[in-house]
Amino acid sequence: MLNDQVLVNDWHVVARAEELQEGRTMPVRLLEEDLVLWRVGGKICAWQDLCVHRGTRLSLGKVENGTLACAYHGWVYNEDGQCIRYPAHPSQQPSERARARVYQAREKYGWIWVCLGEATRDIPHFPQWEDASYRKVHCGPYTYKASAPRAIENFLDITHFPFVHQSYLGDPTHAEVNDYQVTTDEDGITASNITVWQPDPDGSGQGALVSYTYRVYRPLTAGFVKSSAGPHFAMFFTITPVAPNLSHAWAYVAMDYSNLTESEIQEFQNLITMQDVPIVESQRPELLPLDLQAELHLRSDRTAIAYRKWLGQLGLSFGTA
């Protein structure tokens, strides 16, 4: 069993809710555990993807009348994970031990979230979700053959914009960053008023100084709000830790202006992410080093420094070294 209690006891997105259809199973993977998702009525079941009879994947099975039947010998499981019928012995009462391993699952923000242990916190709050002045556009998932903390750190990193996202989010001749403030408390990290120049921050075609405020809500969930003269552009970003060096990123863009179509917004995010992915996948060591002596830091890296310190204080181990 995984020794990372922080991530075991945290909520993680494993799928888009609209992709999990009634009457179907869906295999997903979280923290090196194979899971099967299925719906019964309004409830989402997230179980270990394993039939306790002979270890067959339950995701190969059939959803029928609010039960899941294994594909191999047809054992029928009810929504609580208890086997209620052995087809080879219809009159035999199934053993109490004949039950699937059941995890907590919830639907929120159009995503399915799973906790493999005891949830110590609620699903992180997405501040713009209920704010009708913000339009929300779903982006991703994006796969990184890299550790989840490396991918979050890239999301929090502002000084790469002029280089990795040149002409989109920055320009090498305007690479300077102000001295900004970072605070950490039990609810995470806040990095406020990071001011950078961008060639076209709001789609008007005009270069301008913009100000970013980042929040790290949970070890693998973060967001920012970017403001220029008027409009606000926000992101909510969360990563599924699949394996120590395999991650899926899910995002919403939230903006209080709209001069772009949904697919234009998604295409832009896809392009930006495809610029980030090869950089993050190239980083060595693959696991994010929490020892601050392991890499060199600048003042402008203070969000990353705070992030590494915080992960160390929490005792996070999966995807870190």
Least separation in angstroms between residue 294's CB and Co ion is 22
276 binds, among ligand FES, Co ion, none (CB under 5 to 8 A by kind): Co ion
Show the 3-state SS of 98-113: CECCEEEEEEECCEEE
Cα(126)–Cα(197) distance, integer angstroms: 26
55 Rama sector, left if φ>0, alpha if ψ -120 to 50, beta otherwise: left
| Span interacting with Co ion, options 34-42, 244-252, 271-279, 302-310, rule CB under 5 A | 271-279
Cα(27)–Cα(37) distance, integer angstroms: 6
Cα(3)–Cα(229) distance, integer angstroms: 47
Cβ closest to ligand FES, residue 57 vs residue 174: 57
CB count within 10 Å of CB 86 equals 18
24 in contact with ligand FES (CB under 6 A): no
Contacts of 65 (CB under 8 A, 6+ apart): none
70 binds, among ligand FES, Co ion, none (CB under 5 to 8 A by kind): ligand FES
Cβ closest to ligand FES, residue 87 vs residue 315: 87
Under rule CB under 5 A, how many of the chain's residues touch Co ion? Answer: 1
DSSP string, 167-197: TTTB-GGG------EEEEETTEEEEEEEEEE
Q: Can you tell me which of 5, 6, 16, 53 binds ligand FES, judged by CB under 6 A?
A: 53
Least separation in angstroms between residue 130's CB and Co ion is 28
Q: Quick one: tokens of 309?
A: 């310190």
Contact 160, 154 (CB under 8 A): yes
Least separation in angstroms between residue 249's CB and Co ion is 11
Least separation in angstroms between residue 74's CB and ligand FES is 6
Least separation in angstroms between residue 79's CB and ligand FES is 17
Torsion angle (degrees, nearest 10) of CA 26, 29, 30, 31: 160
72 binds, among ligand FES, Co ion, none (CB under 5 to 8 A by kind): ligand FES
Task: Annotate each residue in 54-73 with x if it binds ligand FES (CB under 6 A) or - if it does not, as one string.
Answer: x-x-------------x-xx
| Span interacting with Co ion, options 21-29, 178-186, 275-283, 296-304, rule CB under 5 A | 275-283
276 in contact with Co ion (CB under 5 A): yes
Least separation in angstroms between residue 73's CB and ligand FES is 3
163 binds, among ligand FES, Co ion, none (CB under 5 to 8 A by kind): none
Q: Can you tell me which of 15, 51, 216, 253 binds ligand FES, judged by CB under 6 A?
A: 51
75 binds, among ligand FES, Co ion, none (CB under 5 to 8 A by kind): ligand FES
β-pairing verdict for 208-218 and 221-227? antiparallel
Q: In Å, how far are 16, 169, 304, 307 from 299, measured between CA atoms? A: 38, 21, 10, 14
Q: Can you tell me which of 47, 75, 109, 197 binds ligand FES, judged by CB under 6 A?
A: 75
| Span interacting with Co ion, options 123-131, 232-240, 270-278, 300-308, rule CB under 5 A | 270-278
* Radius of gyration in angstroms for the set of CA atoms belonging to the chain, rounded to a whole number: 22
Burial (0-12, 13-18, 19+ Cβ within 10 Å), 268: middle
Least separation in angstroms between residue 86's CB and ligand FES is 8
Partnered with residue 47 across adjacent β-strands are 36, 102
Residues within the interface to Co ion (CB under 5 A):
276
Residues within the interface to ligand FES (CB under 6 A):
51, 53-54, 56, 70, 72-75
